[in-house]
Amino acid sequence: QQPVQSPQAVILREGEDAVINCSSSKALYSVHWYRQKHGEAPVFLMILLKGGEQKGHEKISASFNEKKQQSSLYLTASQLSYSGTYFCGTVEGYTGNQFYFGTGTSLTVIP
Amino acid sequence: EPEVTQTPSHQVTQMGQEVILRCVPISNHLYFYWYRQILGQKVEFLVSFYNNEISEKSEIFDDQFSVERPDGSNFTLKIRSTKLEDSAMYFCASSEGGTGSSYEQYFGPGTRLTVT
């Protein structure tokens, strides 16, 4: 049920790009992405729906491959403020409101 | 900007005691959630609540836990007979619509529960 993310951790220099992957063993209706800074609550970044609709952050992009049950989050020209732990979240089918966060990816951006 | 609030920010309790964690969701939101996060681990879904009843719950949400919306604004999580392993950060969240309808969740700042 819990989506698996990769990599577990990544360190970037400012301006570099990163890709975070999220994979589920079950069919997905949608994928949500959240970022959590140390000691703070998760903050919404983006939702991707079946059929290609997206809503969310202007400077962060993501993809959703429904057939492969995977999503990727693309962070380009990273800034120091991008540091944090990124979680994908999945709703398995339109069953209601059971939401599973992924294993998390720790991203550190250094000057 | 509207926000989810939680009280207390930190709760220390002895094993076996009951605790109530309180949340005030965003006023026009209809769906409410509780999550927990053990230190250094992922965020785990506990329960979702809609229309004054539990919508979904996880395996973690056993008979030890209960939720209630006692009035028009508060949403509470009660943990009966706390155990050491209940020590975690507990987050409340709310959304306009259900996550199945693809609405984003807004999280409160969390309550750190320490069971001694």
For the stretch B1-22, pLDDT in tens is 789 999 999 999 999 999 999 9
pLDDT > 70: percent of chain A: 86
A110 - beta bridge partners?
A13
Range of B14's domain?
A: 5-96
Question: What mean pLDDT is reported for chain A?
Answer: 87
Q: How far, in Å, CA of B110 to CA of A40, rounded?
A: 8
Q: How many domains does chain A have?
A: 1
Task: Kindly report, residue by residue over B26-49, the tens digit of the pLDDT.
Answer: 999 999 999 999 998 889 999 999
Sequence-distant contacts of A24-28: CB under 8 A, at least 24 apart: A24/A69, A24/A70, A24/A90, A24/A92, A25/A1, A25/A69, A26/A1, A26/A69, A26/A90, A26/A92, A26/A93, A27/A66, A27/A69, A27/A92, A27/A93, A28/A64, A28/A66, A28/A69, A28/A71, A28/A90, A28/A91, A28/A92
Predicted pLDDT of residue B56: 86
Task: Kindly report the nearest CA distance between residue A85 and chain B, in angstroms.
Answer: 10
Q: Quote the number of domains for chain B.
A: 1
Chain B residues within 8 Å of chain A (Cβ atoms): 31, 33, 35, 42-45, 48, 50, 55-58, 91, 98-100, 102, 104-110
Does residue A99 register a pLDDT over 90?
A: no
pLDDT at A56 over 50: yes
Whether residue A71 contacts residue A59, with contact meaning beta carbons closer than 8 Å, is answered with no
Distances (CA, A) of B7 to A26, A87, A99: 36, 25, 23
Beta strand A105-110 pairing with A9-13: parallel
Nearest to B48 among A44, A94, A97 (CB): A97
Q: Which domain holds residue A59?
A: 4-110
Give residue-wise pLDDT tens across range B36-86.
999 988 899 999 998 899 988 888 999 999 999 988 789 999 999 999 999
In this prediction, what percent of chain A has a pLDDT beyond 90? 50
Check CB contact under 8 Å for B31 and A41: no
CATH number for the domain harbouring residue B32: 2.60.40.10
Percent of chain B with pLDDT over 90: 72
Domain holding A34: CATH number? 2.60.40.10
Mean pLDDT of A6-10: 96
pLDDT score of B61: 95
When pLDDT is cut at 50, 70 and 90, the band that residue A57 belongs to is low
With a pLDDT cut of 70, the percent of chain B lying above it is: 97
Q: Is residue B114 part of a domain?
A: no
